[in-house]
């Protein structure tokens, strides 16, 4: 049974979605996505026919989908065979024809409407960029800066590079481990570089305000009080 509309209008273009195709051709959505992803490898103008996006499922979780125009649908559906598939192809073609006919009778966009449409595109792009920023780990320059701040904090905690505690490799290693243990517990990350970019400033503040546990502080103080022994 067909669900909802076969073809919709998006940014003044007649399109359908990979989810609609999967539902109406009775295929698993993940298989339709796989077939479209395969086309991406061989079709040079893929971006003119397919647009990848996200759509919440019934639980509100983001799921990956593709929007596709008539050409994209025709290319994808070319591999769908059988009498039932043929009937759905014809229904889709008719739906595209009807939607495109409606678009032809729409008046051209006014300048304010064109600006609004362009702005909408930039908003979507900005949202995508922000999402990537929130998900990805630290880029090289930020990871390097963070490492310098971490090492500088260790030096301060141990009493400086000339201190006995710093020159004692066992104590120094134990201090690095203690810092990382606190970091991992706070940010739930198994590596420093996996920290999401949005938490960078918070992590820098964490490093600045961190001090070793009491027992380790005692070891550091004891080592530094033994002048000339190391």
Confidence of residue 129 (pLDDT cuts 50, 70, 90): very low
Q: What integer pLDDT is reported at residue 228 of this predicted model?
A: 55
State how far Cα 140 lies from the chain centre: 18
CA distance 61 to 45: 30
Q: Please write the tens of the pLDDT for every residue from 94-109.
A: 777 777 666 665 555 4
Distance of CA 227 to the CA centre of its chain: 53
- Give the model's pLDDT for residue 122: 47
Could you tell me the pTM of the whole model? 0.43
Q: 3-state DSSP call for residue 137?
A: coil
Residue 50, both tokens: 């397919």
Contacts of 96 (CB under 8 A, 6+ apart): 7, 14, 16, 70, 73
Tell me the CA distances in angstroms from 128 to 16, 46, 60, 72, one per residue in order. 21, 20, 18, 23
Give the rounded percent of residues in the chain with a pLDDT score beyond 90: 30
Residue 191 pLDDT > 90? no
Average pLDDT of span 184-197 = 82
Cα–Cα distance, 196 to 132 (Å, whole number): 9
Structure tokens of 61? 């979780």
Which residue matches tokens 């893929």? 46
CA 9 from centre of chain: 27
Q: Where are the alpha helices (DSSP H) in 136-213?
A: 140-158, 164-167, 169-187, 200-209
pLDDT, position 213: 92
pLDDT value at residue 164: 93
- Number of alpha carbons in the 13 Å side-chain half-sphere of residue 43: 16
């Amino acid at each position: 049974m067909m669900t909802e509309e076969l073809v919709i209008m998006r940014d003044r273009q007649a399109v359908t979605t990979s989810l609609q195709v999967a539902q109406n051709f009775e295929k698993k959505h993940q298989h339709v996505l796989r077939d479209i992803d395969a086309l991406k490898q061989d079709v040079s103008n893929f971006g003119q026919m397919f647009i990848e996006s996200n759509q919440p499922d019934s639980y509100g979780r983001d799921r990956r989908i593709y929007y596709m125009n008539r050409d994209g649908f025709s290319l994808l559906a070319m591999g769908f065979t059988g009498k039932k598939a043929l009937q759905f192809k014809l229904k889709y073609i008719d739906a595209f024809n009807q939607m495109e006919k409606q678009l032809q009778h729409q008046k051209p966009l006014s300048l304010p409407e064109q600006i609004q449409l362009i702005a909408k595109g930039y908003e979507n792009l900005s949202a995508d960029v922000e999402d990537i920023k929130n998900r990805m780990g630290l880029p090289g320059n930020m990871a390097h800066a963070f490492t310098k701040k971490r090492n500088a904090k260790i030096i301060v905690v141990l009493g400086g590079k000339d201190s006995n505690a710093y020159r004692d490799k066992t104590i120094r290693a134990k201090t690095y481990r203690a810092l990382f243990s606190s970091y991992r517990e706070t940010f739930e990350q198994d590596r420093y570089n996996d920290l999401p970019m949005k938490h960078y400033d918070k992590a820098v503040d964490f490093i600045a305000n961190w001090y070793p546990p009491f027992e380790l502080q005692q070891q550091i103080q004891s080592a530094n009080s033994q002048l000339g022994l190391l």
